[in-house]
Amino acid sequence: MKPHLSNSARLCSIWAAVVSGAVSCSTIGTPTISEKIAVPTAWKASTEGTSKEISRGWVRDLNDPQLPSLVNEAMGKNPSILATAERLKASRASLVRAQANRMPSLSSSAGASRTRTNADASDSSTSYSSNKRISLGASWEIDLWGRLRHLHTAAQANYDTTVADLRGARLSLAANTASTWYNLITAENQLKLAKETLASYQKVEKIIVRNYKAGTARSLELQLSRNNVFSAERILRARLRNRDDAKRNLEVILGRYPSATIKAPAELPNIPQSIPSGLPSELIARRPDIVASRLDLEASFHLAMAAKKDLLPSLRLTSSSGTSASSYKNLLDPGFLISSISASVSQSLFEAGASRADAHAALARNQAAIHDYRDTVLDAYREVESALASESSLKQQEFFLRKELQQAALAERQAERDYAEGVDGTDILDLLESQRRASNARSSLIDLQNQRIQNRINLYLALGGDFSTR
């Protein structure tokens, strides 16, 4: 027979459980929900330059009429972005699940049984008895310490993190679309240059063949000229392959079959605007990865608080009501109704330190989230500063490269005229060298123009958008 506990004894037991949990909870450290990081008032590399009117959409900033439609197509058909959107739906379902834990739960059950009974072993008579039952139950955990609230808030933060991840995926997809699009245009320009270079080498080869037949050119000159022609033929085929690969890369991003049939314009767009001076550093706070990292920190805080409060006693209310009768007509008779309402306080007394270990692990994950957040922010600062510094450097390089190309083109034309006219002292090596330098300068200029555009795209990506939208 179990000993009977008085009301005062029950209260003492509950109070002992509360005190025991409170002592265990107090020995766990307190997690952190935010982290302050010193930020510059303006980006150091953008203190010079002329500020111009900045449009709100960074895709439109590139002043390319075809790019917005390509980005829109990628947003609607790219498999990766569609998969990320589906994961957002799954995260939303998890949020609903966490919210449901704070609400009462209801359950119902129904059943019937039939039992056969024999009077004794020598008696062949058999009797049967039937029982039918219907029951309804309810249960609700009262959130005394806010543990369930912390879990729900953490689930909300995790959902918001998924939203930020989707925004980041869309921003990256737009940047990847633009980057691949301009790589394709660059490949088209390099292919066009390769054809022009081959034609120039073939033109010189004809002049050398004519002079060779006339006895005014050596066989060495003819061999060197043909060497250039064959080299140009090889480069042309390599450029053709690079162009087709760039087409297929873009088509996959757009969700198309990689058939290498997409068309691209013949010229790269000019950078339409300069970066405004004194670019505010607050713009970086909108970067999706920083938003996601900040939300991860918030979620880790609430999970650590929930694990800490899991050491405290829990209070649960339960209620059940049901009927049991031998016939179905009696199931609705109030006389057969059985009801009960109870409350229970539970506190783990010994579990080999499992809950305390969970609390310490959650606190450690919170501290790790702080360091991850700092690392994400500092890496974002580095990307922005690097892109801003590269903007100025690439612009200066283009200025001098154009001067270089101008002189190389003049030398190429002069060498062609001198050799064709048989000017004394003109050497075939001078002509071939001038052609090589002019071709390399033209190719380098195409690549450098693409580098400037790619760097501008990287800057938009590093800032998380255009230069003005907060």
Highest mean pLDDT among 25-34, 258-267, 354-363, 461-470: 258-267
Tell me the pairing of strands 337-346 and 314-325. antiparallel
Per residue in 146-174, pLDDT (tens digit) is 677 777 777 788 888 888 888 888 888 89
> Could you tell me which of 278, 276, 283 has the C-alpha nearest to residue 53?
276
State the pTM of this model: 0.71
The pLDDT value given to residue 41: 47
Percent of the chain with pLDDT over 70: 67
Between 282 and 111, the more confident residue is: 282
Q: Other CB atoms closer than 10 Å to residue 329's CB: what's the count? A: 9
Q: How far apart are the first and last CA of the chain?
A: 72
Q: Is residue 253's pLDDT more than 80?
A: yes
Query: Is residue 267 classed as helix, strand or coil in its secondary structure?
Result: coil
Lowest mean pLDDT segment, chosen from 3-17, 225-239, 278-292, 320-334: 3-17
Q: Which domains does the chain have, with CATH numbers?
A: 31-111+128-463 (1.20.1600.10)
The pLDDT value given to residue 365: 84
Q: What is the mean pLDDT of the chain?
A: 77
Tell me the pairing of strands 337-346 and 105-118. unpaired
Per residue in 303-315, pLDDT (tens digit) is 888 777 776 666 6
Per residue in 109-139, pLDDT (tens digit) is 766 777 766 655 555 566 767 766 776 666 6
Give strand pairing partners of 142: 315
Tell me the pairing of strands 314-325 and 126-142. antiparallel
Per residue in 63-85, pLDDT (tens digit) is 888 998 998 899 888 888 888 87
Instruction: Provide the token pair at 290.
Output: 């920083």
Per residue in 397-422, pLDDT (tens digit) is 999 999 999 999 999 999 888 887 77
Instruction: Provide the token pair at 170.
Output: 């869309």
Q: Is residue 265's pLDDT more than 80?
A: yes
Type of residue at 93 = A
Type of residue at 255 = G
The pLDDT value given to residue 40: 47
Between 148 and 257, the more confident residue is: 257
**What does each C-alpha distance from 119 to 32, 113, 115, 128, 386 come to in angstroms?**
72, 20, 13, 11, 94
Rounded Cα distance between 106 and 136, Å, is 7
> If 0-12 CB within 10 Å is exposed, 13-18 middle and 19+ buried, where does residue 188 land?
buried
